[in-house]
Structures are given as C-alpha cells and as structure tokens.
Structure 1
Amino acid sequence: MKKPIIEILLSSEKRKKVLLLLQDGPREMETLLRSLDTTRTALLPQLKILKESHLISQCGDTYESTTIGKLIVEDMISFLRTADVFGENCDYLGTHYIDFIPAYLLKKLPEIGSSKVINIDIPDIFSRDRGLFEKAVRSKYWMEATSILYPAFHEFYAEMLEHEIDISIIMTRDVYEKAKNDYYEHFKEIIDIKLISLYLYPENMEFASFIVTDECISFRLLTQEGAFDNKKMHICGPTASKWGKELFEYYRKRSRLIIDV
C-alpha cells in the first residue's frame, strides 16, 4: 500500500530535499548525492518511493520532477517558509498579539526575510534602538507607528534630521495628548518645522510599535493579555522593507495628518 502524499513529503528529510532540488530542474544522481551529502545506497530507496508516487521521473541516471511533483512542491515551499518563520519564534509569536496585521499581509510574512527575537535590557526599555537608527542612517528613511512615547523623542528625531532622514510617524491619541501636555515646546517644534510627517491614528493600536527602515522591520508586540514586555522582533531581508511600507501605509490611510498642536 502506497504512503499518503503528505507522509511522503514530511516524514523524510531526504525526500523533501530531493523534491526541492528538482524544483529547479533535472539533476543527475551524482549531483543529488553531493548536494545531499549521502550515499547511493541510502538515496535509492527514497527515490523509488518518489517515483512510485509519480512525484519524480527517471531517465537513465537523471531525475526530474513530474508536473504533479512541481505543483505539490510549490505549495510545500510556501508551507515550509511559513513553518520556518512561525516555528523559529513560536514562543514569541504564540504569546503575543499579531492580529493587528491585515490578513493579506500576514500571509506574506513568511516571504519577507529571517526574523530574530531580541531581549531588551530593562534600563533600555524606554530608550531608542541605536542599532536600528544606524540602519535608518544608511537607508535615509524611518517609518514608525507607535503607542509609546519615548521621553527623549525630541533629541532622537533631531539627530535623525541632522542625517537628512525622511521621518514619518503615526501615533495614537494617548501619545499625542501626552506629547502635547508633557512636552509641549518640543512637540510644537517638531510640528512647526514640518520636516517630520506626523499622523494621528484615531483608534487604539494593538501593538507597542513597529518601525520600518530600508533594511529591517522592528516590532514591539503586546502580549496576548495586552501587556508590554522587554522583547522585540527584527525581520530583515530584501523584501522586508516593501512589506513594512505596505503595513505602514495601511495605518497611515486610517490616520489624519497633524498640522498643528
């Protein structure tokens, strides 16, 4: 009795790697052996199972994916990317709220790059991310949506402007009111110089903050209980910035431009 396709795909690392290798085109046996760092004796039984399931075909010493195999592997690649992204940081993503990301962008999340969860030292919880600042200096823009007001926000943004960084910030009403009431002069100065685009988001944000630069996205998520903690997640990759801009634009469209205090 043949094994179900799902078992063939997931129960053997060698079979999975063979299918992924053949997705790019036919491969000779020697190429497969080198790529998989295995022996002919070990690989032949796995190839036999794949052939019997009509996922690959053989011509002499060359193997290639069948049409069925290619279609199945395309979906498998998407599944594996999703499993990698959510699996490697399952403890963080599983205990933090991510439903603020629109469904169409959430589906794209596995495609945008590698992610890393970072513990923030307690003294630095209300300090700016200097590493991300250096990335912004190189990229020349900083997009931020935040429900947190950092005490030294004025000095931080002033330093950015010295580097001619294009800054756009979306803030909640609570952040706006705190900045206006507790830091009026500094806040008014930022608005008056009109070198920073400030937006007011009318509803509660279900996250602490997210920041987009040309190289990375940085998230500070809320826990499932709605609490802040000392963790953040960075996602870096060639398409991370494009995805992050889409997320920022989603919230910007639902905000209004702040033109005075």
Structure 2
Amino acid sequence: MQPELLDVVFRSRKRSDLLLLLGEEARTIEEIKTILDVSPTAILPQIKRLTDSSLVVQREGYYELTGLGEEVVKKVRPLVDVLTLLERNDYWLEHDLSGIPQYLQDRLGDLKDFRLIEPAPCQIFEPRTEIVNFISASSHLMVFSSFFRPEFLPIYSKLGRKGAKVSLILTEAVLEKTLHNYERKLKKFTDMPNTELFVCNDGVKLAELIVSDQGTLVSLFASNGRFHHDHAFCSDSQALDWAKELFEFYKSRSRLIEDSRGMERFSCTSGTDFLSESPLFSLQ
C-alpha cells in the first residue's frame, strides 16, 4: 500500500472505522453518524479526506467504497483485527503461537472478540463449570488435547451416547496415559458409531482446542513452556471457521484409531514415568 494511503487510513481512527463500515455495505450519512456514534462536524472532514483520496464516493445519497477503497479494506481489515485482538489482552503476546500454522497466525484477528477464561488459583486442578457446561451443551464436538484430561472423558462419552458427533485428537503420550488409567472407558468411547479418536505425535505446541456449535476454546502454552489452564473463548462465526481449520490441520496429521483393537500398541506401564518424562505437566 502506498505511504500516502497508509497515512490517510491510519492517521485517524474515525477514517479507518468508516472505511471498515463501508466495507460491509453502502451507508447514508445518518447511518454513519448513528453506527459510529459521531457528530456531522466530526465525520464530514474524514469523509472528504477519503473521497479526495479516491477511496470513497457518494452516489444517490449513499457513501460507498471505490474499487481502490475495496482493495485497501481487504488489506486493512486483517491488520485492524489483529491490533484489536492485541489491545484486548496480552494473552497472545505472552503465549507460544508456534502450534498454530502460519496461515492461521496470519488470520489471528479472526479471534478479536475473544474472552479470556482463567481459573481461580484454588481451582486450577478442577474442571471449570463454565467449560463443562460449554462441552455438555454441544451437539457436535471437536477436541485436540496435548495434556491429560480424564475429567472430560465421561462427558465426551455421554455426548456420543446422545448421538452427538465427537472427534477427539490426543498426543501419543496422553493416549497412553489415558489407556493406563481409563482403558475400558476410552475403548467404549472409540467403539461408538458417531465418535472418532485420532492420535498424533508428541511435541505439539498447542495445549488444547475445543470446537463445537456453541463456540471455541483455545489454550496455548506460555512462552516459557508452562501451562496455566487458561482458555480464549470465542463464539462468532469467523472464530469458529478459524478453529475448525486449526482442528482439521491437526486431524490431517494424525492417525485414526478405528476401534478399540487399534489401541493395543499403545501402553503406559507407569504413571510416574509418564509424568517425569512428559513436558506437558510443567504447571504454574
């Protein structure tokens, strides 16, 4: 983008907000004033600056983007979304993003409306009621987990029995640990007609991803490798599409356990050994 256009767009928050608004559809001056909550004296000079720069044109009482304006908005919107995301919370700056493929990092702004769910210190090892209710209310569920979550397995099975589609991806270490402690329950889950279990290699830098018709929960490891049991929650359609793509990314790199017999090669002989060898249990 030309430097002079960058100046036009980003020197004024009102101008950038107006461009993004017109990127949705053409608007009258009254609609612009109401939606952006501005006075005529505040917004008219910004409209003039945008029309002088050939980004906006007025036709039959409506302001709309020119062809150039549409191209500028395509480039500006992702950047504005990312800036909005980073302004809301330092979560994304303080956590390891390497578990997210670059093409989805480039669209991290799709999660701009996220809300951070953090456990109270006294509840860090207990499942949060908010998350349990979120999972339990789902009609379909996709879960990736690289740490041991035994408390959720009965919920996944209950959803499966109720006819919900449930897809679960575990790392090899977590699968072995789960089989060591809950083999019968996990095999019952796998043998249901509407459930799927996948296993992927260890070392994934994504802590947890939960996607349902209700929204999505994303949990990352901190930059120092620790896990703090916090989740970013989003429920808008953009965020859901982003999360589904992330799940499919890991699903395409995982192996399907077709039934309970497919688990036979996975075993965990000692819970203590697992905890001492796994980097996934480095807790705050």
Instruction: Calculate the TM-score normalised by the size of structure 1.
Output: 0.81
Q: How many residues align?
A: 258
Give the Cα separation in 2 of the matches to 1:113 and 1:218: 13
1:260 to 255, 260, 263: 263
Give the Cα separation in 2 of the matches to 1:200 and 1:8: 50
* Partner SS, residue 114 of structure 1: coil
**Aligned residue for 2:148?**
149
**Aligned residue for 1:95?**
94
**Aligned residue for 2:218?**
219
Give the Cα separation in 2 of the matches to 1:36 and 1:151: 47
**Aligned residue for 2:121?**
122
- Answer 1 or 2: higher relative contact order, Cα 8 Å, separation at least 6: 1
**Aligned residue for 1:85?**
85
**Aligned residue for 1:49?**
49
Query: In the TM superposition, what is the alpha-carbon distance from 1:146 to its structure 2 partner?
Result: 0.8
Give the Cα separation in 2 of the matches to 1:93 and 1:255: 26
Change over 3 Å in CA distance of 1:153–1:61 after alignment to 2: closer
Q: Does 1:19 align with 2:19?
A: yes
Q: Does 1:166 align with 2:146?
A: no
**Aligned residue for 1:232?**
231
| Greater shift in the superposed pair: 203-212 or 13-22 | 13-22
Mapping 1:198-209, distance limit 5 Å: 198-209=197-208
Asked if structure 1 preserves the Cα contact closer than 8 Å seen for 2:82 and 2:112, the reply is no
Letter in 2 for 1:142: L
**Structure 1, unaligned runs of 5 or more:** none
* Partner SS, residue 225 of structure 1: coil
Change over 3 Å in CA distance of 1:29–1:196 after alignment to 2: closer
**Structure 2, unaligned runs of 5 or more:** 265-284
User: RMSD of aligned C-alpha atoms?
Assistant: 3.0
Give the Cα separation in 2 of the matches to 1:54 and 1:193: 60
Asked if structure 1 preserves the Cα contact closer than 8 Å seen for 2:117 and 2:231, the reply is yes
**Aligned residue for 1:4?**
4
Instruction: Calculate the TM-score normalised by the size of structure 2.
Output: 0.76
**Aligned residue for 2:275?**
none
Query: In the TM superposition, what is the alpha-carbon distance from 1:140 to its structure 2 partner?
Result: 1.4
Query: In the TM superposition, what is the alpha-carbon distance from 1:212 to its structure 2 partner?
Result: 0.9
Letter in 2 for 1:125: I
Query: In the TM superposition, what is the alpha-carbon distance from 1:178 to its structure 2 partner?
Result: 1.4
Give the Cα separation in 1 of the matches to 2:23 and 2:150: 52
Query: In the TM superposition, what is the alpha-carbon distance from 1:213 to its structure 2 partner?
Result: 0.7
Give the Cα separation in 1 of the matches to 2:252 and 2:101: 13
Asked if structure 2 preserves the Cα contact closer than 8 Å seen for 1:57 and 1:63, the reply is yes
Deviations 1:116-171 (A, max 9, x none): 11111234433335434444444412211111112434433343334333222111
**Aligned residue for 1:105?**
104
Change over 3 Å in CA distance of 1:197–1:10 after alignment to 2: same
Asked if structure 1 preserves the Cα contact closer than 8 Å seen for 2:51 and 2:57, the reply is yes
Asked if structure 1 preserves the Cα contact closer than 8 Å seen for 2:79 and 2:109, the reply is no
Asked if structure 2 preserves the Cα contact closer than 8 Å seen for 1:112 and 1:236, the reply is no
Change over 3 Å in CA distance of 1:163–1:181 after alignment to 2: same
Deviations 1:64-119 (A, max 9, x none): 44332332233222322222233323x10001012211222233332366211111
Change over 3 Å in CA distance of 1:252–1:7 after alignment to 2: same
Change over 3 Å in CA distance of 1:121–1:194 after alignment to 2: farther
Change over 3 Å in CA distance of 1:241–1:22 after alignment to 2: closer
